[in-house]
């Protein structure tokens, strides 16, 4: 199977599940986001896991072709950069996250973006013929 399809099939449903969880349990996710934006073991581990996942994607799929597959490459690089930021510059990462999730509607907007991206990747991975 093509790596792009494999990664789309992996990331797409995961993003859809996260988005649905955020929308269905909005209050709980707002609390989790607020707790996650404090430096500690959870913050460090999320950075470590993001770095590892991002590096895996970048090493398997560093394609800069101008089609849908570039989304996977960009996600890999964003995960890598986000992981490095949480490990090396946690104060900057916390300030950035606090800015992004500062309003009441922010988790809803984030969930809708994540859900749309997940639906698109799921479609490309499962429905579209290579």
- Specify the 3-state DSSP secondary structure of 63: coil
Q: Where do runs of H (alpha helix) occur along 39-105? A: 41-60, 70-88, 90-100
Q: How far apart are the first and last CA of the chain?
A: 10
Across the chain, which has 130 residues, the per-10-residue mean pLDDT values are 91 97 89 81 92 97 93 97 94 86 78 96 85
The pLDDT score that the predictor gives to residue 98 is: 82
The pLDDT score that the predictor gives to residue 104 is: 64
The pLDDT score that the predictor gives to residue 41 is: 87
- Ordered by start, the domain boundaries in the chain are 3-127
For residues 70 and 63, is the Cβ–Cβ distance under 8 A?
yes
How many residues make up the chain in this entry? 130
């Amino acid at each position: 199977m093509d790596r792009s399809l494999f990664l789309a099939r992996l990331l797409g449903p995961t993003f859809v599940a996260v988005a649905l969880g955020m929308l269905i349990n909005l209050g709980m996710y707002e609390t989790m986001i607020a707790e996650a934006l404090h430096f500690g073991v959870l913050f460090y581990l999320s950075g470590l896991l993001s770095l590892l996942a991002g590096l895996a994607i970048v090493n398997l799929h560093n394609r800069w072709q101008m089609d849908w597959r570039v989304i996977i490459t960009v996600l890999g690089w964003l995960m890598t950069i986000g992981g490095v930021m949480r490990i090396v510059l946690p104060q900057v990462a916390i300030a950035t996250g606090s800015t992004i999730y500062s309003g009441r509607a922010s988790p809803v907007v984030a969930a809708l973006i994540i859900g749309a991206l997940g639906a698109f990747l799921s479609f490309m991975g499962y429905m579209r013929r290579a």
